[in-house]
């Protein structure tokens, strides 16, 4: 019976050093291999050119590198790039590169499918098949960094966890991936350029605050009226707005970091005065800004983009209360690459 080999990237640097010592080699060999795995982004053991052939064979006999493969790449007319990413077990997730004049942003996935049941989201129609490993999350970012350098002649500047999955339902792996993305031994990116977007899980928001994370927090709110929120995001029945509010107040007390609310305005759902007033009131609890997101329809059902007038009514009401609000236009429409509404089309 063949034993399944462990992904070598699951080992810490110390564990790698110990592995080499226990196999009669020097500890520094672990440092060398660790650098190849993360900073040099080696896809195979053969890539490790300053490691002896015997050592590479030993690694091959004991481990695998479960590297992602960009299966298909689509470029939109607006410059957005969508990657269909094939994992080692042939499952597919998606990641997106979103360029502007001054920055390039990677939108990455954290799960295959999603644990939650937001009715407006394409990913929610896929059952959650598994969590992504830290290396698989890291690889998405590294691939988009390469694409940013290739197509836009500059390194990746920002990362948002708004692709497939709920990042806080894969907390340990997401945190490990961010540790490597921000480490000088990895991609060396500033945590201030990373935003983790959640649908709002109070216990985990508090845990992030307790863990003293340095990245930014975004919450997919979409309604500050309990009944509407529960209808469009049924899982929120277990996480009422009072609990969410309390966790966000806790977050701000601990981190002093502003929150971004992601908010889509839909026709006939949350485009009325009651919804606007509720959002303005909710925004006053904690320092925040609001991204009003243009919706990318996934079918001809109940969720349709609201009128320009409805969106403007939100902006006017928020501005009157000195709350910063911006309209985020959907990107990559011609390749179906709306960040946060990613779907597996393979």
How far, in whole angstroms, is CA 145 from its chain's centroid? 15
Query: What SS3 class is residue 93?
Result: strand
Helix and strand counts by DSSP (H, E) for the chain: 10, 14
- Looking at the DSSP assignment, which residues form a beta bridge with residue 105? 98, 158
Closest of 285, 265, 284 to residue 275, by C-alpha: 265
C-beta separation of 93 from 87 below 8 A = yes
Distances in whole angstroms, Cα of residue 46 to Cα of each of 56, 59, 70, 215: 7, 10, 20, 35
Q: How far is CA 233 from CA 126, 128, 130, 257, 314, in A?
A: 15, 16, 21, 26, 21
In 3D space, the residue among 234, 95, 63 whose CA is nearest the CA of residue 161 turns out to be 95
Give the contacts of 178 (CB within 8 A, at least 6 positions apart).
191, 194, 196, 213, 215
Q: Which of 107, 118, 121, 339 is the catalytic position?
A: 339
Instruction: Tell which residue, 200, 177, 195, 234, has the closest CA to residue 339.
Output: 195
Distance between CA atoms of 329 and 271, rounded to whole angstroms? 17
101 tagged catalytic: no
- Of the candidates 94, 136, 147, 262, the residue annotated as catalytic is 94
Q: Is-catalytic flag, 4?
A: no
Residues catalogued as catalytic:
94, 339
């Amino acid at each position: 019976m063949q034993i399944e080999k462990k992904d070598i990237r699951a080992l810490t640097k110390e564990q790698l050093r110990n592995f080499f010592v226990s196999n009669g080699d020097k500890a520094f060999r672990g440092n060398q291999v660790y650098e190849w795995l993360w900073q040099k982004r080696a896809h195979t053991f053969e890539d490790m050119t300053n490691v002896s052939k015997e050592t590479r064979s030993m690694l091959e006999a004991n481990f695998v590198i479960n590297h992602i493969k960009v299966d298909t790449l689509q470029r939109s007319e607006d410059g957005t790039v969508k990657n269909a990413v094939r994992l080692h077990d042939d499952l597919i997730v998606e990641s997106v590169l979103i360029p502007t004049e001054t920055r390039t942003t990677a939108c990455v996935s954290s799960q295959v499918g999603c644990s939650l049941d937001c009715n407006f989201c394409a990913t929610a129609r896929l059952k959650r098949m598994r969590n992504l490993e830290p290396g698989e999350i890291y690889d998405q970012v590294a691939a988009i960094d390469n694409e940013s350098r290739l197509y836009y002649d500059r390194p990746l500047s920002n990362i948002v966890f708004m692709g497939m999955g709920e990042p806080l339902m894969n907390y340990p792996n997401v945190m490990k991936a961010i540790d490597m993305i921000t480490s000088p031994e990895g991609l060396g990116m500033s945590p201030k350029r990373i935003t983790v977007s959640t649908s709002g899980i109070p216990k985990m928001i508090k845990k992030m605050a307790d863990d003293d994370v340095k990245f930014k927090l975004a919450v997919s709110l979409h309604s500050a009226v309990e009944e509407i929120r529960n209808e469009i995001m049924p899982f929120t029945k277990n996480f009422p707005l009072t609990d969410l509010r309390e966790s966000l107040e806790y977050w701000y007390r601990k981190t002093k970091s502003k929150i971004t609310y992601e908010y889509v305005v839909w026709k006939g759902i949350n485009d009325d005065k009651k919804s606007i007033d509720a959002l303005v009131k909710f925004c006053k609890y904690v320092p925040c800004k609001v991204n009003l997101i243009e919706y990318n329809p996934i079918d001809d059902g109940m969720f349709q983009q609201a009128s320009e007038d409805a969106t403007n009514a939100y902006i006017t009401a928020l501005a009157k209360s000195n709350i910063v609000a911006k309209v985020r236009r959907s990107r990559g429409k011609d390749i179906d690459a709306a960040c946060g509404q990613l779907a597996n089309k393979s």
